[in-house]
Structure 1
Amino acid sequence: MRSVALAVTDGMLHFEMALAYEVFASAPAGVTAPWYDVAVCGPAAVRAGLFRLEPDHGLDRLRHADTVIVPGWADVDAAPPADLVDAVRAAHEAGARVASLCTGAFVLAAAGLLDGRRATTHWAHTEVLAARHPLVDVDPDVLYVDGGSVLTSAGKAAAMDLCLHLVRLDHGSAVANTAARRLVVPPHRDGGQAQFVPTPVPDPGDHPLAALFPWIIERLDQPLTVEDLARQARMSSRHLGRRFRAVTGTTPLQWLLTQRIRHAQELLETTDDGIDAVAAATGMGTATTLRRHFNRTVGVPPDAYRRTFHSRAAEPPG
């Protein structure tokens, strides 16, 4: 997945377009593996919000890309340009992985790429997407949906989550974490997390769970329960569950499992520890338990993940 093409046209949201370019256009410091070749593809001149840009290539270049990124589409009440829709459809038919950011899902839906698939977009527009394209299984509650060759994200910050997810798929979690540190964003939010949290997320240190998160991370090798977390946070298990969902958009056990899986990925990439040792270090207990959760979450067994990513992570910084 070396070549990435940004599909742009008048009316694109400049935030999502710039975000994708920032992630894919330059390798993080110390990463020596071949990075992406990025092309901006569109009409001769494009107006995106306050900005005007001149794409490097026409939309016909999309069909030669490994990955096509479709940024947010500003006017969801209007049909996306036919030439953009046709070019995105042709790219997918040619074998490209196609990902939409925010309301870019309307372009993918118009191209027929979401028919019969689960997809998402910004929570404020999910009802419109579902009504206009009834063959699409619209999920209004998630950050992004990975459908293999077709991926969709919710709005704004969730677009960053999807872009980092693509980096993680292509280069492994260690490189994705390095990219996240450069961008000063969280290294991973699972696509299944809620995109809309009804209460505002407090600033660090201003909520009762601020000290709990690092406490958990330091003890991933231990068999923690909700009762253990509640005791550490000095609140009831039920109150902890409510607080956790308000802050993270997910449950304590799901968040804990996600941290265990991510730690397992890092160990598989950066060490030669056996699967039993990785299971013990991540609190999974046994290799069987690790394999079951890892396969369900990541999509491949731990052994296959290591074969794919271990050599890349082991390369010395350049």
Structure 2
Amino acid sequence: MHTVAVLALPDVIGFDLCLPVETFGRVQLACGERGYRVVVCGTEPVVSAGPMRIATDHGLDILADADTIVVPGCNTVSAGLGDDVADALKSAFVAGTRIASICTGAFTLAGAGLLDGRRATTHWLAADAFRAAFPAVQLDPDVLYVDEGQVLTSAGASAGMDLCLYMIACDYGSAVAADAARMAVAPLHRSGGQAQFIMRNRAPIKHIAERTSLDDVLAWIEREAHRELTLRDIAECAAMSIRTLNRRFQAETGQTPMQWVTGVRIRHAQQLLETTPYGVERIGMQVGFSSPANFREQFRRLTGVAPQSYRTTFRAREERNKEGAREERNKEGAREERNKEGARLAG
């Protein structure tokens, strides 16, 4: 049986850890047998996972017997990688073991030297920190996952599910993967990449708590992005010359002022696509684009999908949530009726 070893390092992200355990652990083949044996291993018998503590079944020695190793992300990406973990991963790689990461687990693979010269991805919020730490890796923060053959990486949170289902399809075919997707109430394939889930103009992890000299003008753009803004309009709001404005934006946001405006408009459009029934053309005009064609082009460029595809993805998720809530209310109602009937009979 194919053994999947999930590596639980200290401060592991609980969701990232549980996702491969549940996804691989529930795979059933047509013959009725389980598709995978899943084990959790680590450097310590008990590791922290945010507010939880997770017990591991094995030490690092189990990695030598695994067919696939999955490395979940950790909450603190700046923590150094121990030699024991790096050596175990390198040995497994040399032996031909398939190794995959979820979210910031890519930092662990890169720290072990397994991603040098390769294409990889990680959570978009950690992209800048990853590039700074591992310049030899070809980072692509816009995709859901990357398959480099023996080494695979995925973006944040649910992108790990996409990668797990992809690996199941590689191992046992699309029919088994589709059944695993149904068990997880998740799509087997999603259109587009991680870019569609990025909240545009949000600061990367290392900058979240920092303020910039542009805070006031950024807040103004947030309110006024639906207008036909020009560079001169923004410079007047910032009380500086256009040249100074451009220099400040590049230094503090890494973008030009108009790139920032476009990002704000796309984020506003994402929110309207998720929450309103308005048509695509109306939304484009409402958030500040002068033509539907320009809106569609910019939306696809920044998110990787068309506006209607984006709406379909998020509306489907909303409908699943509503259906789950309805089922829960129905169950609660049935429990109340049973309790009333029981009380009546007892009385």
TM range (shorter): 0.5 to 0.7
* Structure 1 pair 148–75 and aligned structure 2 pair: CA distance change class (3 A): same
TM-score scaled by length of structure 2 = 0.59
Q: Contact between 1:120 and 1:154, CA under 8 Å: does it hold in 2?
A: yes
Pick the structure with greater CA Rg: 2
8 Å Cα contact 2:145-2:159 kept in structure 1: yes
What is aligned with 1:217? none
Q: Does 1:124 align with 2:179?
A: no
Report the 3-state secondary structure (helix = DSSP H, G, I; strand = E; otherwise coil) of the residue aligned with 1:72.
coil
Residues of 1 paired with 2:31 and 2:275: CA distance? 30
Q: Residue 4 of structure 1 aligns with which residue?
A: 4
TM-superposed CA distance for 1:94, in Å, is 1.5
Matching of residue 249 in structure 1 with residue 250 in structure 2: no
SS at match of 2:152: strand
Instruction: Measure, in 2, the Cα distance between the counterparts of 1:110 and 1:103.
Output: 11
Q: 1:52 maps to which residue? A: 53
Q: Distance in 1 between matches of 2:302 and 2:128?
A: 25
Q: Alpha-carbon deviation of 1:141?
A: 1.1
Q: Which residue in 2 is equivalent to 1:238?
A: 293
Deviation by residue 1:30-52 (Cα, 9 ceiling, x = unmatched): 67365001111112111111221
User: For 1:62-82, what per-residue CA distance to the aligned partner results, in whole angstroms no more than 9, with x for missing partners?
Assistant: 121110000012111221333
Counterpart in 2 of 1:177?
Answer: 178
Aligned length, in residue pairs: 229
* 1:141 counterpart SS class: coil
> Mind listing any 5+ residue stretches in structure 2 that lack a counterpart?
199-266, 281-290, 311-347
Larger RCO (CA under 8 A, 6+ residues apart):
1
Per the alignment, in what secondary structure is the counterpart of residue 77 of structure 2? coil
Q: How far did residue 250 of structure 1 move?
A: 2.1
Further displaced range: 184-193 or 148-157: 184-193
Q: Per residue, is there more helix in 1 or in 2? A: 2
Percentage identity across paired residues of the two chains: 47
For 2:162 and 2:27, the matched residues in 1 are separated by 17
Q: Would the alpha carbon gap of residues 149 and 204 (structure 1) be closer, same or farther in structure 2, given more than 3 Å must change?
A: farther
**What runs of 5+ residues in structure 1 fail to find an aligned partner?**
210-235, 256-318
Q: What TM-score do you get using the length of structure 1 for normalisation?
A: 0.64
2:117 and 2:59 mapped to 1: Cα distance? 30
Tell me what 2:40 maps to.
40
Change (3 A) 1:97 1:165: same
Whether the aligned pair in 2 keeps the contact of 1:123 and 1:195 (CA below 8 Å) is no
The Cα RMSD (Å) is: 3.1
Pick which of 128-137 and 20-29 moved more. Answer: 20-29
Matching residue of 1:308: none
Q: How far 1:178 sits from its partner (Å)?
A: 1.5
Given that residues 6 and 40 in structure 1 are in contact (C-alpha distance below 8 angstroms), is that contact kept between their aligned partners in structure 2? yes
CA distance in 2 between partners of 1:175 and 1:208 (Å): 38
Any idea what SS the aligned residue of 1:194 has?
Answer: helix
Distance 1:201 1:8 in 2: 39
Change (3 A) 1:207 1:184: farther
Change (3 A) 1:207 1:174: farther
Equivalent residue of 2:115, what SS?
coil
Distance 1:118 1:191, change over 3 A: farther
Structure 1 ranges of 4+ moved more than 3 A: 28-34, 190-193, 195-198, 200-209, 239-249
Q: What is the distance in 2 between the residues matched to 1:12 and 1:201? A: 34
Change (3 A) 1:201 1:101: farther
